[in-house]
Amino acid sequence: MTALVEALSRHAEHAFSKGPCAELRLVAGHGVEGDAHFGRLVQHLSRMKQNPQQANLRQVHLIHVELLEELAGKGFAVGPGQLGENVLTRGIDLLGLARGTRLRLGEQALIEITGLRNPCRQIDGFAPGLMAATLDHGPDGALIRKCGVMAVVIEDGTVRAGDSIALDSVPLGFEPLEPV
């Protein structure tokens, strides 16, 4: 199965959910043009309070549509952009990627995976119990965060729904994803 961009979202203001859009312009070193998290330095409000000079490792948020389908099976109606993601994917195991993996979105844009999205309690404000539904435990008891991955933009490009997602490169050593 070919990995695809299922849907795109952005929001100019800091809000939990993002609105749908036909295309996204990704800008190297900054993120999604027109999105509240656009910038070289951290734009996440709570992280800005801690250290506004830290690098923005959360320029682009990706979630796999398979998570939304899993949540629907648990009784949650969650649509594209409603968990705050910019790019909704299909057919790629985002959570299984190594830190530093590079993905080509469409023909131009290149992103690098920096880590996992750490779900916060705001998710329960969207739907009670939703945060617990986005978490799991592995066979060893380790917490599994299923709410997508974060990335930085390496090469500019315009991304549209239906565009392909291609593995561009992987690091020599596998480094599992941690929350960023």
Is residue 140 in some structural domain? yes
* Chain mean pLDDT for the chain: 96
pLDDT for the residue 35: 98
Domain coverage including residue 76: 4-97+104-169
State the DSSP string of 7-39: EEEE-SS--SS-EE-SEEEEETTTEETTSTT-S
Given this model, what pLDDT does residue 57 score? Answer: 97
Residue 48 has pLDDT above 90, yes or no: no
Give the pLDDT score at 120.
Answer: 84
- Residue 19 counted as domain residue: yes
Paired sense of beta strands 87-90 and 60-64, if any: parallel
pLDDT greater than 80 at residue 85: yes
DSSP string, 142-170: -EEE-S-EEEEEEE-EEEETT-BEEEEE-
Minimum mean pLDDT among 10-19, 42-51, 122-131, 138-147: which range? 42-51
For position 96, what pLDDT does the model report? Answer: 96
**Is 36 contained in some domain?**
yes
pLDDT of 1 > 90? The answer is no
Is 164 contained in some domain?
yes
C-alpha 152: how far from chain center: 10
pLDDT of residue 61: 98
- Within-domain flag for 31: yes
Kindly state whether residue 29 falls inside one of the protein's structural domains. Answer: yes
Beta carbons of 123 and 91 less than 8 angstroms apart: no
Q: Token pair for residue 23?
A: 């295309």
Q: Does 178 fall in a domain?
A: no
Encoded tokens for 112: 């690098």
Q: What is the pLDDT of residue 103?
A: 98
Angstrom distance (rounded) from CA 68 to CA 106: 22
What is the distance between the alpha carbons of residues 169 and 5, in angstroms, rounded to a whole number?
A: 18
* pLDDT score at 158: 98
Domain containing residue 48: CATH number: 2.40.33.20
Instruction: Indicate the pLDDT class of residue 86, thresholds 50, 70 and 90.
Output: very high
Domain-embedded: residue 151: yes
Residues contacting residue 72 through CB under 8 Å, at least 6 positions apart: 78
Backbone phi, then psi, for 52, in 5-degree steps? -70, -5
Tell which residue, 30, 170, 154, 23, has the closest CA to residue 93: 170
- In this prediction, residue 14 carries a pLDDT of 95
What is the average per-residue pLDDT within 156-160?
Answer: 98
Taking the C-alpha atoms of residue 91 and residue 89, their distance in angstroms, rounded to an integer, is 7
108-127 confidence digits (pLDDT tens): 999 999 999 988 889 999 99
Q: What is the mean pLDDT of residues 33-61?
A: 94
Domain count, the chain: 1
